[in-house]
Structure 1
Amino acid sequence: MANNLNSNEYDAYYNRYLKKIPGHVALGILLLENKQEFLSFLEKLKPEDLTYSYAKGKWSVAEVIQHLIDVERIFQYRSLTLARDPGVELPGFDHNAYVTASSVKNRDIQSFKNEFIAVRDAGIGLYESFSEEMLTSKGFVGGSATSCRALGFIVAGHTKHHIEFFKDNYQII
């Protein structure tokens, strides 16, 4: 498991993301490598790809990219909160509602790249600022015990999951 996370640091639902990342890479390095992998994916997109959806009712490429950015921000906020206020209880969020409310139709690939870079770099800086005690501090997210560091690893695995999903289902790269 990622950086020797214990199963009591996250909800079992997130195993699907954590199993996609190497277990021996430090969080900061992982987030940097994962950032480059996602930017490489974005480089392969054509403008018309943003509106593509692999099936009726499924998110478009642009909506998935916005979802990734939204999740990144939310998990950073959760990490900051757990680091500063261990034991806190944070609610879950409805990712479908966030996608529906996003305004991706007016976005281009460069704007997504710029936002992803800004958000990921902010996250890398955030995790680098945490002491070991802060990284292992826990609270509750959506009712499940969660550590600050687990959220960082999960977000990297979540990004990797969607890169693979793009390749397997959207078949645009």
Structure 2
Amino acid sequence: MISETLNTKEFNPYYKSYIDSASNLNIVEGLKQNLDSVVSFYSAIPAQKHNFAYAEGKWTVKDILLHIIDTERIFTYRALRIARQDKTALVGFDQDEYVVSAKAGSRSLFDLIEEYKIVRQGSIALYRSFNSGDLEQIGEASGFPISVRAIGYILTGHENHHNQVIRERYL
């Protein structure tokens, strides 16, 4: 498991399942692989499911994709600051409030997929620029230590988690 290759001080235990479901031991290759698989996955979801939520108060397919995009932006911002040795403790964010204010339902799934591709390409470029020392930098986010490399694994593991939920409960 990937979490076993990381020092336990590199991430909050909350993220262990995401890290372990990351798609590849090489962060950049995992990000590239997931770019293709996520685009294919969402592109194949039938239109009648785009605004579907399996229960009251649950997110729709479009909400989930926009949540993945927002989370990736926030986490890569954290990775950049930590890699640049910024010692500022970074605060968390309320994902539920972000989903409400994002209004994914007013956008097309195609538009969200295009945005996802652009954000992911940026993440790939960022992680490609990091050297091994950058990847091992540890900062603080949401009150816990986190390394740049742990964030890279969390990105793919996080979307793998949500896409599995869609497979099980939405399709």
Query: Normalised by the size of structure 2, how large is the TM-score?
Result: 0.94
Aligned length: 170
- Alignment-derived partner of residue 139 in structure 1: 139
Structure-to-structure mapping, 1:13-162, within 5 angstroms:
13-22=14-23, 25-162=25-162
Q: Which runs of 5+ in 2 are unaligned?
A: none
Kindly indicate whether the alpha-carbon contact (under 8 Å) linking 1:86 and 1:138 is maintained by their aligned counterparts in 2: no
Amino acid in the other structure paired with 1:28 = V
Amino acid in the other structure paired with 1:168 = E
Write out per-residue CA displacement over residues 31-87 of structure 1, whole angstroms, 9 at most, x where no aligned residue: 111111211111211222111000011111111111000001000100001011343
Kindly indicate whether the alpha-carbon contact (under 8 Å) linking 1:28 and 1:124 is maintained by their aligned counterparts in 2: yes
Q: Aligned-pair RMSD on alpha carbons? A: 1.4
Kindly indicate whether the alpha-carbon contact (under 8 Å) linking 2:53 and 2:59 is maintained by their aligned counterparts in 1: yes
Secondary structure at the counterpart of residue 57 of structure 2:
coil
Secondary structure at the counterpart of residue 52 of structure 1:
coil
Amino acid in the other structure paired with 2:80 = L
Q: Which runs of 5+ in 1 are unaligned?
A: none
Query: Normalised by the size of structure 1, how large is the TM-score?
Result: 0.93
Secondary structure at the counterpart of residue 159 of structure 2:
helix
Cα shift at 1:119: 0.3
Kindly indicate whether the alpha-carbon contact (under 8 Å) linking 1:10 and 1:145 is maintained by their aligned counterparts in 2: yes
Are residues 1:5 and 2:24 paired?
Answer: no
Cα shift at 1:126: 0.2
Kindly indicate whether the alpha-carbon contact (under 8 Å) linking 1:86 and 1:137 is maintained by their aligned counterparts in 2: no
Amino acid in the other structure paired with 1:20 = S
Distance, in Å, in 1 between the alignment partners of 2:66 and 2:106 is: 12
Amino acid in the other structure paired with 2:161 = H
Distance, in Å, in 1 between the alignment partners of 2:20 and 2:168 is: 17
Amino acid in the other structure paired with 1:10 = F
Q: Sequence identity of aligned pairs in percent?
A: 34
